[in-house]
Amino acid sequence: AQKITQTQPGMFVQEKEAVTLDCTYDTSDQSYGLFWYKQPSSGEMIFLIYQGSYDEQNATEGRYSLNFQKARKSANLVISASQLGDSAMYFCAMSPNAGNMLTFGGGTRLMVKP
């Protein structure tokens, strides 16, 4: 069974600063995928970034980067230059190689202060 743990229920960050959202995972699969989603107050889940377990480079998408440390089983999301619009819930999720089923963490609520 897979398990995702997000230990920060809520976080504040000052506008324009960088912030790291923690995610650790547990799986016996050798091949898997890690995802981050953003959920603003409107409720829709927005895909941010993906990291494959065999990808050699850490994934980056604009201001988002994924700090993947396979030996530590961590996949932290780094948001650079925070903006007020980044205030939202953030979810870490993983899927096994065999399919698209996702296991989600409990989420982190990020609040960006002006």
Partner 1 sequence: DVKVTQSSRYLVKRTGEKVFLECVQDMDHENMFWYRQDPGLGLRLIYFSYDVKMKEKGDIPEGYSVSREKKERFSLILESASTNQTSMYLCASSPSGPSRDTQYFGPGTRLTVL
The contacts of residue 3 (CB under 8 Å, 6+ apart) are 25, 26, 27, 103
Out of 21, 75, 96, 112, the residue judged to bind partner 1 by CB under 8 A: 96
Q: How far is the CB of 58 from partner 1 (least distance, A)?
A: 15
| String of contacts with partner 1 for each residue 56-95, x by CB under 8 A | -----------------------------------x-x-x
| Planar angle of CA 20, 24, 25, nearest 5 degrees | 150
- Contact status, residue 25 vs residue 42, Cβ threshold 8 Å: no
Give whichever of 31 and 80 is closer to partner 1, judged by the CB atom: 31
Residue 111 in contact with partner 1, rule: CB under 8 A: no
For residue 26, the minimal CB distance to partner 1 (Å) is 15
Give yes or no for residue 27 binding partner 1 (CB under 8 A). Answer: no
- The DSSP-derived string for 45-109 is -EEEEEEETT-SSPPEETTEEEEEETTTTEEEEEE-S--GGG-EEEEEEEEETTS---EE---EE
Q: Which residues bind partner 1 (CB under 8 A)?
A: 4, 6, 9, 32-33, 35, 37, 42-45, 47, 50, 52, 91, 93, 95-107
